[in-house]
Amino acid sequence: MRLSAELGILFLVVATTLPLKAQEKADSLSPRLLPSEHLVHDFVADGLAHRFTATRLLSPHEVCVGTGGILPLVEYVLWDLPVQISSGASIQARLDPGQGIAVLSTEFSVDFFLLDIELADGLIIRTGMGHASHHLGDGAAKDSTRQPIDYSRDDVQLFIIHPSAFLCGQLYAGLRYNYALVIGQPVRKPLSFQIGIHALPWSLSPELSVYVGWDVKLQQELSYGNSQRYEGGLQYKTAEGRILRIAVSYSAGYDERGQFFGKRRSEAGMGIVVSL
């Protein structure tokens, strides 16, 4: 964790210094701090994306809540290529209202940096470095039949993203390499793959649209078993770029929470999602 933080800070220092060096060679460079727009949209159907969520599951009768977001830090044009550096973090929890709002699990995740480079119109690559740790909540810990799992991972990622004007959305595909993965003990199965899509098939007004999304992950530690998630509903986008979604979701496959490693699930829910 400490090594990941140090590497992330070092990268941000180098990346924000690059524009000053490149300015000597290219007059087109224009660094800008804290830009208001994201070069890459959030992965809409990714259940672990950094955003604000409140979802009531229909089966099981639980509540998913989360708080977080991705903040663009700096953007500039380097050798005629738009570049944006962001950082993101979130905390997610699963609650059981039937047990006096008992907390079943809590998941912490952070992307120390996300580096997005627009190589061409409709083609963006993303790389970054992150960390996650998952913990059993107090409510589940009181269950003598369930033992907490020491779960954490440090990873680097590489994604190809295709913003699509036809879909009014984007497609993405990529992988994560978990250079430090602990599931009770260190695990040497570092690869996970992720693909997804989201689209706005109907526009009801300039701000309001119907949206749909799909996301699937394959994890080497589960013999490349998959976790799938579908999401759809109404999306409202403000002039400042903030997005509010009224969402219906369905998840199937392996549970993404480390404390429920290897467990299969099938659950549907309704809720509110806010992306900054």
pLDDT confidence of residue 39: 95
2-19: burial string, b at 16+ Cβ within 10 Å, e else: eebeeebeebbeebeebb
Least confident of 18-27, 100-109, 238-247: 18-27
**Which pLDDT belongs to residue 98?**
78
Report whether pLDDT(21) > 90: no
Q: Which residue has the higher pLDDT, 102 or 263?
A: 263
Q: Does pLDDT of 237 surpass 90? A: yes
pLDDT surpassing 70 at residue 249: yes
Percent of the chain with pLDDT over 70: 86
Q: Is 262 helix (H, G, I), strand (E, B) or coil?
A: coil
184: left (phi over 0), alpha (psi -120 to 50) or beta: left
> Do the strands 191-203 and 169-183 form a parallel or antiparallel pair, or are they unpaired?
antiparallel
Residues 208, 168: Cα–Cα separation, whole Å: 13
